[in-house]
Amino acid sequence: MHRLIRNPFRRNRDSAINNRRLRGPILLLVIGTCLLAYFSPPSDSTEPLLAAASKSKSKHPPAQVQLPIIKGVTVTEMDDTKPKEAAKTATTATDKADPFSKEYDNCIVGAGLSGSVIAENYATKLGQTSLIIEKRNHIGGNCYDYTDTETGIRVSLFGAHLFHTRHERVWEYVQRFSEWVPYEHQVLGLVNGKHVPIPVTIDTVNTLFDEKIASTEEMDEWLKKEQVTFYDEDGEEREAENSEEVALMRVGQRLYDLMFKPYTFKQWAKYPAELGPEVLSRIPVRNNHDGRYFSDPHQALPKDGYTAIFDKMLSSPKITVVTNTDYFEVRDKLKCKRLYYTGPVDSYFADLGWPKLEYRSLSFERVVKDNTPGYFQPASVVNHPQATDVDGKEVDFTRIVEYKHLLNQTSDKTIYFIERSKDGGEPYYPVPNDENKNLYKRYQEMAEKEEGVTFVGRLANYKYFNMDDAILNALELFDKDTKDIKTATG
């Protein structure tokens, strides 16, 4: 049993992050938070409010700040990092039954996907207890959704999440916690005033360039004429060295200039040439009419939303969840055999004084339209890749998400969220350029030397994970950590 002790000489909250904890046989998991699809959000000029509803059946609804309706439209700017009040139903560290007075088999920092999966497995397979410490006022991490009280429409607090997987183990696992409704996500982009499929398909090319491509062979021929080839100093074809070269090699100059270059800058505040090839490598280009955003065999949405999944996963009496609680403020109270911790690797080693790794964050502008039994836009997600619209007006956002489309929800109103990418705030997207990659290697070397600690997940590995990858990662980590332990029934 190891009691985790906080440095008593820290000066303030910032130094709480900077101080290293005593070394010991601790196990660390950095949770791979639920991630959003690539084409998501840029700059914000105001300090947003947190707007969310408490109508959800979840035990942990967020706070709500509602602006008045003006001419049939309600606009609220949202920021998950600054809730105005604690959720009334959340368990807090000051509740009458002090959760820190007990001893636990596991302490887990973060109630997102990975932390919840690990706690659930320890409870059901080994009968072990877990204390989950969550800084936010709700469970579910970035997957958290709720029913908007003004419209009755279920929305996500941190952007659209569309579940898809090729991993049979993950698909079988999530079936335990929800009924799933088949759903194949399709994204449109507004380019030159026209809605076109994203990723690029035959229909995208025909619409933008007035082509009449009718077959896969014709599309292949068109792409071949557009694509750019790069050569090394010996005259041999070489692979792409950055995301600009990736796009040029796959779609050519015209589509790159129309869609990929301006969107990437809005998303990352860097041009594709400044980013590693992996950023645009994962965006497919299709030589047919398949307008689906994903091609995985399992694609679906949870019938009752994602938050309901977490409620069920964490319902075991073996699991205690504490929200509105900063781990760094309570870690001297923890008594547990193992610790799973969520957080960026650079925060863990902040006392080294090294530069921080670079992330992009998101802001969400909430808009409600009255007297709208139909829809505001033709698809649930419409990307806005260009820097200006057809009238020359600046477009500083990356996409608009209208949740009414998902699961065929009905209301006499509609609600949509305008997404922007920004610096600062919650870390969503690691910025994969050479400077950050080299800096991460230094942190990685320190992590490998850290006695008894395992760094796992998106923030710890400075790497993009999808939802299913985060779940699989947690399942495999649990397998590894418990391979020598008998099951609760065995």
The DSSP result for 438-467, as a single string, is: HHHHHHHHHHHHSTT----SHHHHT----H
* Long-range CB contact pairs, 440-449, < 8 A, 24+: 440/345, 440/357, 442/354, 443/345, 443/346, 443/349, 443/354, 443/357, 444/345, 446/349, 446/352, 447/345, 447/348, 447/349
| Lowest-confidence pick of 72-76, 388-392, 399-403 | 72-76
CA distance 141 to 307: 9
Q: Please list, in sequence order, all residues whose beta carbon lies within 8 angstroms of the beta carbon of residue 117, skipping any fewer than 6 positions away.
A: 173, 313, 471, 474, 475, 478
| Lowest-confidence pick of 87-96, 112-121, 202-211, 363-372 | 87-96
Q: CA torsion sign, 84 to 88 to 89 to 93?
A: positive
CA distance 477 to 473: 6
Q: Which residue has the tokens 């947003």?
A: 48
Q: What is the mean pLDDT of the chain?
A: 82
**Partners of residue 120 on adjacent β-strands:** none
Q: CA torsion sign, 433 to 435 to 441 to 446?
A: negative
Kindly list the distances between the CA atom of residue 58 and the CA atoms of 36, 97, 168, in Å, as whole numbers in the listed order.
22, 21, 28
| pLDDT for the residue numbered 231 | 95
Structure tokens at 451: 């006695």
| pLDDT for the residue numbered 259 | 94
Q: Which residue has the tokens 């999966």?
A: 117
CA distance 203 to 207: 6
Kindly list the distances between the CA atom of residue 298 and the CA atoms of 156, 174, 184, 407, in Å, as whole numbers in the listed order.
21, 11, 9, 16
pLDDT tens sequence across 224-276: 999 999 999 999 999 999 999 999 999 999 999 999 999 999 999 999 999 98
| pLDDT for the residue numbered 51 | 30
Give the number of other CB atoms < 10 A from CB of residue 371.
8
Q: Which residue has the tokens 């502008």?
A: 365
Please provide the distance, in angstroms rounded to a whole number, between the alpha carbons at the two ends of the chain: 24
Q: Which residue has the tokens 């477009």?
A: 395
Using pLDDT thresholds of 50, 70 and 90, give the confidence band for residue 488.
Answer: low
* Phi, psi angle pair for 138, to nearest 5°: -155, 160
Q: Are 6 and 19 in contact (CB under 8 A)?
A: yes
| pLDDT exceeds 90 at position 45 | no
Residue 40: Cβ-neighbour burial (10 angstroms; 0-12, 13-18, 19+): buried
Residue 435 one-letter amino acid = E
* Phi, psi angle pair for 66, to nearest 5°: -115, 120
Give the number of other CB atoms < 10 A from CB of residue 419.
26
Structure tokens at 263: 């969107």
pLDDT tens sequence across 164-219: 999 999 999 999 999 999 999 999 999 999 999 999 999 999 999 999 999 999 99
Structure tokens at 274: 């400044």
CA distance 108 to 320: 10
Helix or strand run (H / E) with residue 148: none
Using pLDDT thresholds of 50, 70 and 90, give the confidence band for residue 450.
Answer: confident
Q: Which residue has the higher pLDDT, 385 or 91?
A: 385
| pLDDT exceeds 70 at position 56 | no
Segments in 163-301 forming alpha helices (H)? 168-174, 202-209, 216-226, 243-255, 261-268, 278-281
| pLDDT for the residue numbered 28 | 37
| pLDDT for the residue numbered 11 | 34
HSE-CB at 410 with a 13 A cutoff on CA atoms is 0
Average pLDDT value for residue range 93-109: 82
Q: Which residue has the tokens 């602006």?
A: 67
Nearest to 401 by CA among 413, 416, 420, 387: 416
